[in-house]
Structure 1
Amino acid sequence: MPVPLSILDLAPLVSGGDVADALRRTLDLARRAEQFGYHRYWVAEHHFTPGVASSQPALLLGQIAAVTDHIRLGSGAVQTGFQTGLSIVEQFGLLDALYPGRFDLGLGRSGQAKKEAQRLIAEEKPQEERVVDGLLIPKPFSWAPIFASQRTALAGSFLTQPGAEPLGLNEVLDQISALLAGPVVDDEGNEVTATPGAGADLEVWLLGSSGGESARTAGARGLPFAANYHVAPAKVLEAAEAYRESFVPSATRSRPHLMVSADVLVAEDDATAHRLAGPFAVWVHSIRTGLGAVPFPSIEEAAAFEWTDERHALVADRVATQFVGSPQTVAEKLRTLQRVTGADELLVTTIAHDHTDRVRSYELLAKEWSP
């Protein structure tokens, strides 16, 4: 039997559309995903990104829960550096109170101190492109120029309170765990309870793009972990290995549970799929230049984009690791990804300018994956 297949949605804007249009498309896609048999439907958290409407996962998940019946819903991922543990627990506790037992609380480290991020980048070892048992592992992309940009500094000034320093990942997880178990009692007997939140039936996940702290912490705490092949394909095997090597059984997991993400686009045949995927490179280019994802361009707009060798190099790893083609072609590539990483689940994300093409991509893949 194939491993479960789930969806990650950014609520992307497209050229000529607006935020309301993007959110309506997300609600429609979530309903269709449930009908198609997908296991989970996760939404991202991105800020100051012109082409992405998914900035507040809990708010968006509440809307999705209202139009679906049973598909698991989750965040991929709440950025712990921009919120307190209490605010996260209260948001997802409210969701669980209204729609019990359906939510995954996916957490990420975005918002970590810039100084630490720059240190981690400086410590990265050079890595050449290679193929591992049929899976392309490209050269890593360096985010250093974007971290150092004035735009990043401006965005950061709005994302945290003046002088605030984000808690470490373990500290945030300790807070979330204590509040979910609640009440929290100090040494003098004082008591606080997250309402809503205490006792919520949430499945806590960590997401990560390398073999760093998120992967190791997920393993050490016995949590499920999602590794990002679609964001950082060069690091996916490192992330999977670090997670498994660190794993310690917990009350909820006796063995590691790994989900791996991938960019996909499916159409009736390979040629059609590649035509529909044409704008993807332009969209990735906007991300890699530090401007934030632009509204997804049309095929005609993408064809007019002027490419240089430098621009091609900037997006080469993401374009080469997008799985594009007929249902058979993409399913085979996903089977390779699952086999090489040992993933227990796969998380796919698809963007197309036309909503009908996007929905059709998910439908074709679901039928091919679990006929």
Structure 2
Amino acid sequence: MTTPLSILDLSPIPSGGTAGDALRNTLDLARRAEEFGYHRYWLAEHHLAPGVAGAAPAVLIALVAAATSTIRVGSGAVQVGHQTALSVVEQFGLIDALYPGRIDLGLGRSGQRRAELAESARKAPPPPRPARIVDGLLIPEEFSFASIASSPLFALYGALLQQPGAESPDFADQVDDIAALLAGTYRSPEGLAAHATPGEGADVELWILGSSGGQSAQVAGERGLPFAANYHVSPSNVLEAAEAYRAAFKPSGALAEPRLIVSADVVVAEDDETARRRASPYGLWVRSIRSGAGAMPFPTPEEAAAHEWTEEDRALVADRLVTQFVGSPRTVAERLRVLRDVTGADELLVTTITHDHADRVRSYELLAAEWAESAARP
């Protein structure tokens, strides 16, 4: 059986483009992804990023679901630390009411992690784990987010995302509240019932996304929910995340055994050289994120080539560059198979960003064709 391929879309704004361009590109790509045979189409949530238009995943999921007919559509992921359980359930229940059986509700704990990162920035970081290769898969040296967490902009963004004085609830509690509201079993600590309309009884698939073997992996496993591990965000921790999820897993009404998606950044073109050129702005784009300023509009290859790199710059992006899968369809498909085999992924979630929208669509088209053809080869 062929391992399903799915897509994670950040709705990137290209240099010289607008948020409207990015969103129209997302709708076009979703339609094409459905034609190419991708299994699901997830939208990311990013805030205060000049180069990313995906700030409201529920709104965009509704638009994508309306523009397509069969592909599953969902969030990768809703940052529940900035919202209440009820607001999330009502948003996704509303979408499911119009497009039943096609909606995925992916949950992430970015809001809760923001406080943890801020606290860790005040402590001496532990020594980084060295890079290693596991059965052909590169696990790079661990990146420290301490410098980002200590940035004044980091604190400002956190303040803007929440009401004054608000505190993010425990992630496990929020997941439980969301599940209970969907199931119609919610009770307050005092025993009072609450029923979400729309939302209660919605046929949404609940997912947990995580970048380490921490609370997200534990919550997904203990509650018998499917889990998505982020090789494209935190490649040094992907094996830890997958192992922690499986170790914590308990069968549930949703799943009898663990179900794992693993993500990867890819750029595919007809040949390796063309792919490398189209992917060349990626490092500069990642630098803009990790410098604390937020994702910049995605540069052209020429704009990226003009950047004068420092050693500090290179250290910021090294782990992401060496784990981006770039090349011809066969080159990238081979690396994705290694990622699948080493992590034991049941599904792969690929994300591709290029300056030109046509190149991004072509990358997904070439990969889907090669993935299907390679599965049919003896």
When normalised by structure 2's length, the TM-score is 0.95
Counterparts of 1:27 and 1:312 in 2: how far apart (Å)? 34
Structure 1 vs Structure 2: percent identity of aligned residues?
Answer: 65
Shift of 1:310: 2.1
- 1:269 paired to 2:292: no
Asked if 1 retains the 8 angstrom alpha-carbon contact of 2:117 and 2:145, the reply is no
Change (3 A) 1:6 1:114: closer
- The aligned runs of 1:151-166 (5 Å cut-off) are 151-166=153-168
Residue 25 of structure 2 corresponds to: 25
1:203 to 188, 202, 205: 205
Counterparts of 1:262 and 1:120 in 2: how far apart (Å)? 27
Change (3 A) 1:134 1:189: closer
Counterparts of 1:323 and 1:216 in 2: how far apart (Å)? 28
1:325 to 324, 327, 338: 327
Shift of 1:192: 2.5
Q: Hey, which bits of structure 1, 4+ residues long, moved more than 2 A?
A: 113-126, 183-192
1:170 to 150, 153, 172: 172
Residue 376 of structure 2 corresponds to: none
Greater CA drift, 20-29 or 279-288:
279-288
Shift of 1:309: 2.1
Local SS of the residue matching 2:16: coil
Shift of 1:124: 5.2
AA matched with 1:348: V
1:349 to 343, 348, 351: 351
Deviation string, structure 1 residues 124-160 (Cα, Å, up to 9, x no partner): 5630011111100001111111112110111111111
Change (3 A) 1:232 1:195: same
Counterparts of 1:8 and 1:59 in 2: how far apart (Å)? 16
Change (3 A) 1:365 1:16: same
Greater CA drift, 26-35 or 184-193:
184-193
AA matched with 1:245: A
Shift of 1:119: 5.2
Shift of 1:185: 4.8
Local SS of the residue matching 2:254: coil
Asked if 2 retains the 8 angstrom alpha-carbon contact of 1:229 and 1:261, the reply is yes
Counterparts of 1:294 and 1:25 in 2: how far apart (Å)? 17
CA RMSD of aligned residues (A): 1.5
When normalised by structure 1's length, the TM-score is 0.97
Equivalences, count = 371
Residue 89 of structure 2 corresponds to: 89
Shift of 1:193: 1.3
Q: Which stretches in structure 1 are left out of the alignment for 5+ residues?
A: none
Residue 244 of structure 2 corresponds to: 242
Deviation string, structure 1 residues 31-71 (Cα, Å, up to 9, x no partner): 00000000000000000011000011100000001110010
Asked if 2 retains the 8 angstrom alpha-carbon contact of 1:6 and 1:40, the reply is yes
2:196 to 194, 197, 204: 194
Q: Which stretches in structure 2 are left out of the alignment for 5+ residues?
A: 374-378
Counterparts of 1:272 and 1:51 in 2: how far apart (Å)? 24
Residue 371 of structure 2 corresponds to: 369
Local SS of the residue matching 1:105: strand
Asked if 2 retains the 8 angstrom alpha-carbon contact of 1:209 and 1:236, the reply is yes
Counterparts of 2:48 and 2:189 in 1: how far apart (Å)? 42
